[in-house]
């Protein structure tokens, strides 16, 4: 079921619910500048065998409000949007799963809204600034593949639709890493679907321009009590090892699982092991409730 929900003045988000209506809610939070349709349908179905799965489009993606140029916001506002989605659906507590920037947002939820979380899972992300015993977590993108840093300089360049699709596929090729063979056609079809869903093919790079203030809260992660799983993506070219272990060390009680070969993308080859890792974690938590 699809719906549009209001999360802030003049801001509406596209939200989709699928899966088991009587299952515990599970909210998927995607990364920067990425529509909720970037979550593979097969992964959503696998999680939906046990959970009421919710995915949504961030502001300035997909069918949600594209507002940054006239109504700029901070990254931390996107975490508040996730809570607003739960409110709109009448969900008191949910499992949350975040990838990349979504993992940053999950960390903010752990700090500011722990009462709304049944559990947390995050992957392909970095710890909030100030994490670690010495508060010396590496600066953002310190270990990132320099080819990606160069490509990001052209994130918002104007392109026609075909050129934009080709650019995105090339971007995914780098994000995929070398651990799993890259299927360009799989990602081309995904991006065609994302563009059709949004009704536009441009990328305003809004999340890259959003205010980063309020994210230097890594030291606070030591007080987290929500059951948390950090999934290591060993071939992630943005947050390579030991990034996942740094996140887990910063979050009190967090555990680590590895999806072999995974990079900073979700090809079909990682769907089964990724779903299995999430479901083991959420299953343990649900059993306790």
Of the residues 77, 80, 81, 236, only one is catalytic, namely 236
Please provide the distance, in angstroms rounded to a whole number, between the alpha carbons at the two ends of the chain.
27
Phi and psi angles of residue 91, each rounded to the nearest 5 degrees, phi first: -100, 120
Q: Are 130 and 137 in contact (CB under 8 A)?
A: yes
CB 275 within 8 A of CB 43: yes
Q: In angstroms, rounded to a whole number, what is the distance separating the alpha carbons of residues 244 and 255? A: 10
Kindly name the residue from 24, 64, 100, 119 that is annotated as catalytic.
100
For residue 15, the cross-strand partners are 3, 56
Residue 252 falls in the annotated catalytic set = no
Q: Establish whether 80 is a catalytic residue.
A: no
**Contact 192/165 with Cβ under 8 angstroms?**
yes
**Bridging pattern class, strands 51-56 and 117-123:** unpaired
Is 100 among the residues known to form the active site?
yes
Helix (H, G, I), strand (E, B) or coil at 224: coil
In angstroms, the CA 45 to CA 260 distance is 21
Name the active-site residue from 51, 171, 201, 264: 264
- In Å, how far are 96, 120, 130, 165 from 226, measured between CA atoms? 11, 7, 20, 39
Catalytic residue positions? 100, 236, 264
């Amino acid at each position: 079921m699809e719906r549009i929900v209001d999360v802030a003045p003049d801001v509406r988000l596209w939200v989709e619910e699928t899966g088991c209506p009587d299952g515990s809610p599970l909210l998927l939070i995607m990364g920067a500048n990425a529509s909720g349709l970037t979550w593979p349908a097969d992964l959503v179905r696998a999680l939906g065998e046990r959970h009421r799965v919710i995915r949504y489009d961030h502001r300035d993606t997909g069918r949600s409000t594209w507002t940054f140029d006239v109504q700029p916001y901070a990254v931390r506002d996107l975490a508040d949007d996730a809570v607003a989605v739960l409110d709109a659906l009448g969900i008191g507590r949910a499992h949350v799963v975040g990838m990349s920037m979504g993992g940053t947002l999950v960390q903010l939820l752990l700090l500011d809204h722990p009462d709304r979380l049944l559990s947390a899972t995050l992957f392909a992300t970095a710890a909030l600034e100030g994490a670690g015993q010495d508060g010396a977590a590496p600066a953002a993108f310190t270990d990132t593949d320099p080819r990606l840093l160069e490509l990001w300089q052209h994130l918002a360049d104007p392109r026609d639709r075909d050129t934009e699709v080709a650019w995105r596929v090339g971007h995914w090729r780098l994000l995929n890493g070398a651990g799993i063979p890259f299927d360009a056609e799989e990602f081309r079809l995904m991006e065609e679907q994302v563009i059709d869903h949004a009704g536009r093919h441009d990328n305003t790079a809004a999340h890259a321009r959003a205010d980063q203030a309020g994210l230097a809260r890594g030291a606070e992660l030591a007080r987290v009590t929500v059951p948390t799983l950090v999934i290591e993506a060993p071939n992630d070219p943005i947050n390579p090892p030991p990034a996942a272990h740094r996140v887990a060390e910063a979050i009190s009680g967090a555990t680590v699982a590895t999806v072999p070969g995974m990079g900073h993308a979700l090809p079909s080859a990682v769907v089964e092991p990724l779903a299995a890792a999430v479901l083991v974690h959420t299953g343990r938590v649900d059993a306790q409730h």
